[in-house]
Amino acid sequence: MKYPLNQFNALIEVLKQLAMVIDLTSISPETLYYMAFQQLNEHQKHNHLYCLGNSVKRYHQLTNEEKLNFVKLVNLDLDFEFKCYPEGCNDKHISTVMKKVIKELV
């Protein structure tokens, strides 16, 4: 597999957490991958997902009151930077890894 193993393992953990509130098969693998990337990227904090019960919102959509009650959906501490395009990987590699991860989790 061309995709880095450390990112693959992180991707599985993120998607496990997202699967608690999102049907992984209802979103294209590519969109789901970018959503996972956003959850692990410090420059994408405004797109981090927060939930309360069945309600899921991006951070930038929360009111000040909701910010007190909603909980960050994905909590994963990594000792490396999760890259959207790891070195040597292209869209085909990402599509392949996403199909493998989704198949493993569903």
CB–CB of 76/82 below 8 Å? no
Per-chain mean pLDDT for the chain = 94
Burial of 41 (0-12, 13-18, 19+ CB in 10 A): middle
Domains of the chain by residue range:
5-105
pLDDT digits (tens, 9 = 90+) for 7-40: 999 999 999 999 999 999 999 999 999 999 999 9
**CA trace torsion 59, 22, 75, 28 (10° rounding):** -90
CB–CB of 82/63 below 8 Å? no
